[in-house]
Amino acid sequence: MKLENASQAPDFLLQGFPSEPELQPIIFVLFLSMYLITIFGNLLIILAVISDPHLHTPMYFFLSNLSFVDIDFTSTTIPKMLANIQMHSKAITYKACLTQMYFVILFAVLDIFLLTVMAYDRFVAICHPLHYTVIMNPQLCRQLVLGSWVTSALNSLLHCLMTLRMSFCTDLEIPNFFCELKPIVQLACSDTLINNVVMYSAAVVVAGGSLVGILYSYSKIVSSILRISSAQGKYKAFSTCASHLSVVSLFFCTVLGVYLSSAATHNSLSSSIASVMYAVVTPMLNPFIYSLRNKDIKRALRALLAKGSTKVQGS
């Protein structure tokens, strides 16, 4: 196989889903529908938080940031896939692939950090309620979000710079519908030992450290809830965490499924389906999970929709 350096690398081929012509319209409509639902659902959450003064709290500030990141996350992958289906092509240039990989890592890690920050917020609210407003002050909330963005951007930049040092062969078929770090590293013809060390070390620090922080927070939360004497108090405390815990479970379980499936098989369809779960399905379901289990969000959404319908009728 011919060896290509980074600057001369040919196009990658995204071998994500079946190439049968009769299946392409179905896949196109399915992913377009999921994309529109994700955009619309998360945008409603953001608008509801902005429009309702009662939701101007740390919990909903972090939730609106999570919704914004989920919109960006899906916008990084799905439009390119839809464009390729329309053009009957699976190609993506080296530069475009590297750019897409940068933003995929950026928003995936941002999701992890924001879920960790939200767990900390719930920990303070339930375990230290009297000091909540002092601890979770607006300045700290902004610093936590800004720190998440900066750390995620630097982490993503590190992986992209490490990718630039690799050389690739002419056989560049990525077994997924978007450019993901691990499959790209596996395609390299040059030595990838350092890349693998950096990739897995970052995964342990970022995902492992965040998961430990979330589990620690919820262990303290559960302990505090069990000490509440009234059943109504326990239910109220648990209900404030149920939505976030559902999203955390869904995200981490699907990400774990991706890496377990990629370790067990190199089949492009299996890898793509696994990646769809955390890159598409989870961002799509987040607004439903938070709105269905949260009375404040449902009230704000009803008020927002009622205000919108009134303006339409007035015009």
pLDDT for 287 equals 85
Is there a contact between 27 and 85 (Cβ–Cβ < 8 Å)?
yes
pLDDT for 70 equals 94
pLDDT for 308 equals 67
pLDDT for 6 equals 47
pLDDT for 249 equals 81
**Phi/psi at 2 (nearest 5 deg)?**
-75, 135
pLDDT for 1 equals 45
pLDDT for 267 equals 59
Q: Report mean pLDDT in 10-residue bins for the chain, 315 residues.
A: 50 78 86 94 92 90 94 94 86 91 95 93 90 94 96 95 86 84 86 89 89 91 82 73 79 70 58 78 86 78 76 60
Helices (H), the chain: 24-51, 58-86, 94-127, 132-135, 138-164, 181-187, 193-203, 209-226, 231-264, 268-276, 282-292, 295-314
Look at strands 12-14 and 3-4 and give their pairing. Answer: unpaired
Q: What is the pTM of this model?
A: 0.88
pLDDT for 248 equals 83
Whose tokens are 């994700």? That residue is 38
pLDDT for 7 equals 45
CA distance 307 to 54: 16
Is there a contact between 111 and 73 (Cβ–Cβ < 8 Å)?
yes
CA distance 227 to 225: 5
pLDDT for 155 equals 95
Is there a contact between 168 and 187 (Cβ–Cβ < 8 Å)?
yes
Domains, the chain, ordered by start: 8-314 (1.20.1070.10)
pLDDT for 2 equals 47
